[in-house]
Amino acid sequence: MRRSIWLSLALGLALAGARSALATDYWVVTAPPDSFGFTQNELIHGTSQQHDLQTIPGPVADDDWYIVINSPRSSYEAVVDSPSQNIHMYNLTNLARFDIGGSLLQVSEFATVGATFGYSTALRWQNTGTTFDQQYLRVQSQFCAVSCLASDQYHIRFYETTVSIPRFNNASGQVTVLIIQNSTSWTRDIAGTAYFHNAAGTLLGSTTFSLAANAALVLYTATVPGVAGVGGTIKVAHDGGYGNLAMKAVALEPATGFSFDTPGLYKPK
């Protein structure tokens, strides 16, 4: 009986120790750690991770840093949700984006834009440049700071939000209309850029847009400089969230009355 009690106590202590170990970010305890300039934790489309902000011995507040690589003419979203009470993500500076030199580029907004309070936050942005761009994201808690525990955890997700439309045609008797709808009820507009490429991938032209909540854009694509009389593909980058813009290209053939719909596609999660 006594032996059984001791075995039960030993097992309980072992399990408690396992839970404690599992609560600690292995990104923090490994070398190099997940600090600015050293982290190797790269977020790519579909990344979903659980982290904590447990105080580092010192005591030093734990800031979690992430690498993101922005492709040319593309857009992205990072979402932090399920935070513990002590992390307080309603301080919107706790999730922020920086350039490779450490200069602040953007602080987060509530995941539901227009809400005056929330526990989930997000960053949404476009890379309108023509080259790959390495940047950093940082998650911190200014509330618990050097008193954060292993139980002070959060969840981070990362998505590419670029939308692809594999066909438009303004040649051979067809004309294409691009339709984009902002399906949100946000209190800010969603801004974006539509890029038109030929079948070989060469950029033909582009146009920008800004859509209020529930608004729609109906664009006669032949009016975009460089896009009349040709066909190809469309890529749309924007500062909305994943799935927040619905879109399609409709190729019309006036001579026959036929129309050909090509829906916009997000990368699968």
**Nearest-5° Cα angle at 168, 167 to 174:** 130
**Do 27 and 21 contact (CB within 8 A), yes or no?**
no
| Residue at 83: amino acid letter | P
In tens, the pLDDT along 187-226 reads 999 999 999 999 999 999 999 999 999 999 999 999 999 9
Judged against a pLDDT cut of 90, whether residue 140 lies above it is answered with yes
Q: Which domain holds residue 104?
A: 22-160
Statement to judge: residues 41 and 70 lie in one domain: yes
35 lies in the same domain as 127: yes
pTM as predicted: 0.88
- The answer to whether residues 54 and 20 touch, using CB atoms and an 8 Å cutoff, is no
Q: What is the CATH number of the domain that holds 254?
A: 2.60.290
Tally DSSP H helices, then E strands, for the chain: 2, 19
155 and 98 within one domain? yes
In this structure, the answer to whether residues 185 and 218 fall within a common structural domain is yes
Where is the domain boundary, 141, 160, 179? 160
Task: Tell me the two tokens of residue 7.
Answer: 């075995």
> 4 lies in a domain?
no
Number of domains in the chain: 2
CA distance 214 to 246: 10
Helices (H), the chain: 2-23, 26-29
User: Within this chain, do residues 109 and 189 fall inside the same structural domain, yes or no?
Assistant: no
Whether 166 shows a pLDDT value over 70: the answer reads yes
Does 27 lie in the same domain as 100?
Answer: yes
Spatial strand order of the sheet with 64-70 comes to 42-43, 64-70, 133-139, 95-98, 104-107
Domain annotation covers residue 237: yes
**CATH number of the CATH domain containing 69:** 2.60.120.380
Residues 129 and 196 in one domain: no
- Structure-block tokens of residue 223: 């009016």
Residue 15 has pLDDT above 70, yes or no: no
148 neighbors 54 (Cβ within 8 angstroms): yes
Answer yes or no: is 7 within a domain. no
| Domain finish residue from 127, 144, 160 | 160
137 and 167 part of one domain: no
Residue 9 lies in a domain: no
Residues in the chain: 269
The verdict on 152 and 32 lying in the same domain is yes
Q: Are residues 58 and 184 in the same domain?
A: no
Q: What digits encode the pLDDT tens for the residues 23-41? A: 467 777 665 667 888 889 9
Give a yes or no: residue 193 inside a domain: yes
Which of 160, 184, 216 is where one domain is finished? 160
The answer on 156 and 28 residing in a single domain is: yes
Measured CA to CA, the distance from residue 144 to residue 259 in angstroms comes to 58
Asked if residue 169 is part of any domain, the answer here is yes
216-260: pLDDT as tens digits: 999 999 999 999 999 999 999 999 999 999 999 999 999 898 999
